[in-house]
Structure 1
Amino acid sequence: MEAVPLLVTRENDVLRLTINRPDAANTLDVALSKALFHAAIECDEDETVRAVLLTGNGKLFCGGGDITGFAAAGDSVSHLAKELTTYLNGAVSRLARMDKPLVVAVNGPAAGAGLSLAMLGDIVIAEPEAHFSAAYSAIGLTPDLGQSWLLPRLVGLRRAQELMLTNRRVGAREAAEIGLITRVAAGDALAEASALAVELASGPRSAIAGIRALLARSFTTGLEEQLELEARAIAKALRGMEGQEGISAFLSKRKADFRCP
């Protein structure tokens, strides 16, 4: 029996997505792409989920697209690529736009589309042995899954140009230094990411959603428009239950309970 390509597990308020094709370098085929798409919808739609954790099973986080599958597709390879990107783009969009945080534990190398998935996290924690590479042009391809959008926003245009054109491998520590990831794990990346996801799940969901939305728009708005968006967001937060609870807890010198009804 073929293994489930994506493990979806639940621990209290945190939904964990584990890429589960370790014998194929966790590469993205149609089955895994479909599974990611449907799981992303679940993350987006399930109101009881307050944080999402993404990681990989085995030695690699994700080796990118399934090149063996591309070769086997023959003349239908363009059709296959469009099918894959339809599912994967849907997954990326929903994970990026959902109203809850995404934490990524990079358990090993991330290449090509795997790099795109790793960068998608709000907070990305990597094992010291992990490394990152754009990989596409090395096999005569162009990037997908938002890599050409995400990478220059994280590391700047000049670094993005170098990394995407030369496919230079970036170690975990350099990745943290240039802003490609958040940090290198002091111990176990998955354990640290899990603890962080639990912490975020106990936080103010509406405020976290508002922060994600504001940051997502910050590169495409002018200062005055961003100021107005911030003003409206904080006014909404102040009149909401979480804002009221946060202020009350601050004044009462107690820990806020953002799970309040």
Structure 2
Amino acid sequence: MTSVIDNGDVLLDVADGVAELRFDRPDSANGMTVGLLRAFYDALMACHRMPDLRALVISGNGRHFSGGGDVRDFASHGEGLPDHLREVTSWLQISVSAMIRLPAPVIVKVQGYAAGGGGFGLVCAADFVVAGESARFLPAATTVGMAPDGGTTVTLSRIVGIRQALRITLTNPRLTAKEALELGIVSEVVPDAELDSHTADLARTLAQGAPRALAATKRLLWDGVGRSVEEALPDEARTVSALSGTADAREGLAAVLERRAPLFTGR
């Protein structure tokens, strides 16, 4: 296996036509920061430059795939959060676009939580999602006074339908792996102990396929979604940035850090 990127936040290794991209901030549940998202985008662009790439597996080191945005990092910006969120969402949106436009199939491997635009959003933007049976899925944005991003406002409704998408994003149930499978959010659920080996087997199977045929099929299916995710991303970014400047967003972040229920006021 050849190491391509190792910058402390993101690791990228390649072997036999399969790339493995791992988030490496396990102490923060692989929380998304500008640094991590920039490294994520760089890694995806490195994958785009690999003519022999046949499959990409995205995972997170530690207990969780990703808890979404790094709440502590967000809260530290105080009144400057809207400007900071504009940068965060910019890196997230071009990364989601790079995932979707990568010719090779993208597999997301989920253990623990996949939450927020950085976790749940990437799940919805993947071509395949393999989850351990103890995995949990949570959009989470409205719980901190913000709105979904990472393309979720388009991808989720296409996957589960508008009624379920509204239920999931407005009430934020912690979906079990089984529930996510029944809704179509994940492709497969396997025993936790078999997550790594099963995902590796799937990647090898894809790597043995006809690359041009797989790439063309992937492109046609994503283009057939209707409104492209790319068209939705700027609107999402503007909305998230604006909401992050509200008192409710600051209250939501504070409530997470203080481990209490938030008290939203509509301001």
TM-score by length of 2: 0.79
**SS state of the match for residue 100, structure 1?**
coil
What CA deviation, in whole Å up to 9, does each residue of 1:112-150 have, x standing for no partner?
121011222211110000010110111101111101111
Aligned length: 220
Identity %: 35
What CA deviation, in whole Å up to 9, does each residue of 1:217-240 have, x standing for no partner?
22329xxxxxxxxxxxxxxxxxxx
* Structure 1 range deviating more: 161-170 or 179-188: 179-188
Partner of 2:138: 133
Question: Matches of residues 67-146 of structure 1 in structure 2 within 5 Å?
Answer: 67-113=71-117, 114-146=119-151
Q: CA deviation at 1:192?
A: 0.9
Where does structure 2 lack aligned partners over 5 or more consecutive residues?
1-6, 228-267
* Greater relative contact order (Cα < 8 A, sep 6+): 2
C-alpha distance in structure 1 between counterparts of 2:48 and 2:82, whole Å: 29
Partner of 1:20: 24
Partner of 1:161: 166
**SS state of the match for residue 144, structure 1?**
coil
Question: Matches of residues 47-86 of structure 1 in structure 2 within 5 Å?
Answer: 47-86=51-90
Greater radius of gyration (CA): 1
Runs of 4+ residues over 4 Å off in structure 1:
none
C-alpha distance in structure 2 between counterparts of 1:51 and 1:204, whole Å: 11
C-alpha distance in structure 1 between counterparts of 2:196 and 2:82, whole Å: 36
- Contact 1:106–1:124 under 8 Å retained in 2: yes
Partner of 2:222: 216
Q: CA deviation at 1:206?
A: 0.5
Partner of 2:194: 188
**SS state of the match for residue 77, structure 2?**
helix
Partner of 2:41: 37
The Cα RMSD (Å) is 1.5
What CA deviation, in whole Å up to 9, does each residue of 1:186-214 have, x standing for no partner?
45212211111111112100000111111
Q: CA deviation at 1:48?
A: 2.1
**SS state of the match for residue 76, structure 2?**
helix
C-alpha distance in structure 2 between counterparts of 1:219 and 1:90, whole Å: 18
Counterpart pick for 2:213 among 207, 210, 213? 207
C-alpha distance in structure 1 between counterparts of 2:54 and 2:84, whole Å: 34
- Contact 1:55–1:190 under 8 Å retained in 2: no
Q: CA deviation at 1:12?
A: 1.6
**SS state of the match for residue 112, structure 2?**
coil
Q: Is 1:8 the equivalent of 2:12?
A: yes
